[in-house]
Structure 1
Amino acid sequence: MNVKIAAAQYDISFLKLWQNYERKTESWVIEAAKRNVGILLFPEYASMELASLFSQDIYSSLSQQLAAMQSLLDDYIDWFRTLAQKYNCYIQAGTFPVKIDSGHYRNRAYLFMPDGQVDYQDKLMMTRFENEQGLIQSGKELKCFDTEYGKIAINICYDSEFPLLARKQVEAGANLILVPSCTDTLAGYHRVKIGCQARALENQCYVAQSSIVGIAPWSEAVDINIGAAAIYTPVDRGFPDNGILAIGELNAAQWVIAEVSPGDCETIREQGQVFNYRDWVLQTACQLKIDSKE
């Protein structure tokens, strides 16, 4: 079944009030719904703009804003569940830092279903920022999610740069991988972009990337944001020659929307010019031999 995907180039705002967050996010969803989008993707750490609802001493401190944001988690989940049901779509709302029993946080990507169900994927590979701050820890479970458009998966930003994660998800049946991302340099954006395109190439599947854009000097977490959203495809007959179905203007606030056909992934794996997906296992048959001289 074909489905339109909307990947956000989402701009960080200073909100002050929860009602401003509701108005902003619903306006984004309404814009996508008018174009009959079935799956919406927001970027990693998009929720961090909620720190602006608190006082300056809180939003100026990463540790304090993470702690304060826990008071908003239930409202956040209820709000996006409502939007997914109201506009009859799947919404991957970016990520929210969720406090766990150890006192640390998980970088959690919630997926909201049109029937009211909610599930999530935790980020598995931590960046230097996450590791060295010592506040956010890796998740432990890799998931796939059943939808009316087939199985989909989530790789959160840096996760997309590690091929075995996506491979396990695709082997479990996912033909679409959603990549919410947050990058503060052009190089960082390109690392994730290249990772997304590589995952689409080697697995002969679709990969959608979303990016935060804009400047938020008040925030320690998302002060500088550089990137573009895109929908990537296999590189083979019937798909774009460069593997890019749609891509946004760098750093502009906008939706990037394209229609995909997840069923075509199965077809191209059987009839394509190359068999990247099928030939993956041949790598294990290769033996590396290095001659050394004393």
Structure 2
Amino acid sequence: MNSLCIAAIQMTSTKDWRENLSHVQNLVESAVLDGAKLVVLPENVFLFNGRAMRDLAESDDQNILLQAISGLAQKYSIYLVIGSHPSILRTDGEQVSSGRVRQTCWVVGPDGVFLERYDKIHLFDVSVDDKAVSYKESDVIEPGELDLKVIDVDGFKIGLSICYDLRFPELYRELMKMGAEVLLVPAAFTYVTGKAHWNTLLAARAIENQCYVLGVGQCGWHNETRQTYGHSALYSPFGERLVSLQEEPGYIVFNMTKTALSDCRQKMPCFSHKRIP
């Protein structure tokens, strides 16, 4: 197919997964009415509380929630990407130890089947000049294996990543080598780091890989110390910002085309000029 209508859902998720699920259901319905066939949710979409991730992943609520998402994809016959969600199981079926979880990006198909998963490999252990001061994801998250994923959605090759991955260009170059045409970046960038770097990094990943890049953010205040940047945006393979949000919950929809992708790569054949492996 020559085109694919993609949507990003921007949220202010909380520690209440039922409330978050309700917002997702409403926003997905709106995006589908605007033509979306691939809908991408942000990081931490159903639970914005790192210390509670293991409890949710081990609870009966986990199955209820994942079945609801499966039903949502099936109801609208769409591909639905869960930006990240806690899992107690690794890809080999072994259980994560030490009370941690994997942060898993799931792709759900139009029939409700969970088609693919990518486990976040770069963990946000940094200091930031904000109210939280420091972040250490490795306290509650186990990094995934170096197992990069590209999945076919209606003829478009979609590369998966999560948030802090965005700062590591070698990951996206590998996804491009695997055939990726669209790079997904579900995220929960802090307000400070987002304001400084979010759009610059999204544009850079689009330009250097000549891919569409969709950044899907959390926004607003999630608790007394955690504020995220929002500004979900889709960039063209030439680095143009095609559509975007600001700092409030909502959604964006855009019809991507293969023509724009091939035109960019033909007019500026950077990959054939590459000298360093």
TM over 0.5: yes
Aligned partner of 2:162 in structure 1 is 156
Aligned partner of 1:283 in structure 2 is 276
Percent sequence identity over matched residues?
A: 24
2-structure distance, mates of 1:232, 1:193 = 9
Aligned partner of 2:142 in structure 1 is 137
Aligned partner of 1:122 in structure 2 is 119
The C-alpha deviation readout for 1:194-229, integer Å capped at 9, x for no partner, is: 2221111011110001110121226x7xx3222210
2-structure distance, mates of 1:92, 1:197 = 21
1:262 deviates by: 3.4
Which of 258, 264, 267 pairs up with 1:262? Answer: 258
Asked whether the equivalents of residues 13 and 20 of structure 2 are also in contact (C-alpha less than 8 Å), the reply is no
Amino acid in structure 2 at the alignment position of 1:258: F
Q: Does 2:222 align with 1:216?
A: yes
Map residues 68-147 of structure 1 onto 2, 5 A cutoff. 68-70=55-57, 71=59, 72-100=61-89, 101-103=95-97, 104-118=100-114, 119-128=116-125, 131=136, 133-140=138-145, 141-147=147-153
2-structure distance, mates of 1:254, 1:84 = 19
- Go from structure 1 to structure 2 and tell me whether the alpha carbon gap of 1:126 and 1:7 turns closer, same or farther (over 3 Å shift): same
2-structure distance, mates of 1:277, 1:128 = 33
- Go from structure 1 to structure 2 and tell me whether the alpha carbon gap of 1:209 and 1:190 turns closer, same or farther (over 3 Å shift): farther
- Go from structure 1 to structure 2 and tell me whether the alpha carbon gap of 1:268 and 1:74 turns closer, same or farther (over 3 Å shift): same
2-structure distance, mates of 1:21, 1:159 = 24
1:102 deviates by: 3.4
2-structure distance, mates of 1:189, 1:76 = 32
Asked whether the equivalents of residues 161 and 192 of structure 1 are also in contact (C-alpha less than 8 Å), the reply is no
Aligned partner of 1:33 in structure 2 is 32
- Go from structure 1 to structure 2 and tell me whether the alpha carbon gap of 1:78 and 1:190 turns closer, same or farther (over 3 Å shift): farther
The C-alpha deviation readout for 1:39-73, integer Å capped at 9, x for no partner, is: 11111111214x6xxxxxxxxxx43x122211132
Asked whether the equivalents of residues 213 and 253 of structure 1 are also in contact (C-alpha less than 8 Å), the reply is yes
Q: Determine which structure has more spread, i.e. the larger CA radius of gyration.
A: 1
Question: What count of residue pairs does the alignment treat as equivalent?
Answer: 257
1:99 deviates by: 1.9
1:191 deviates by: 2.6
Map residues 174-213 of structure 1 onto 2, 5 A cutoff. 174-213=180-219
Asked whether the equivalents of residues 124 and 138 of structure 2 are also in contact (C-alpha less than 8 Å), the reply is no
Structure 1, unpaired ranges of 5+? 52-61, 236-241, 285-294
1:11 deviates by: 1.8
Q: Does 2:245 align with 1:245?
A: no
Amino acid in structure 2 at the alignment position of 1:283: I
1-structure distance, mates of 2:137, 2:180 = 32
Aligned partner of 1:66 in structure 2 is 53
- Go from structure 1 to structure 2 and tell me whether the alpha carbon gap of 1:157 and 1:34 turns closer, same or farther (over 3 Å shift): same
SS at match of 2:47: helix
1-structure distance, mates of 2:37, 2:195 = 26
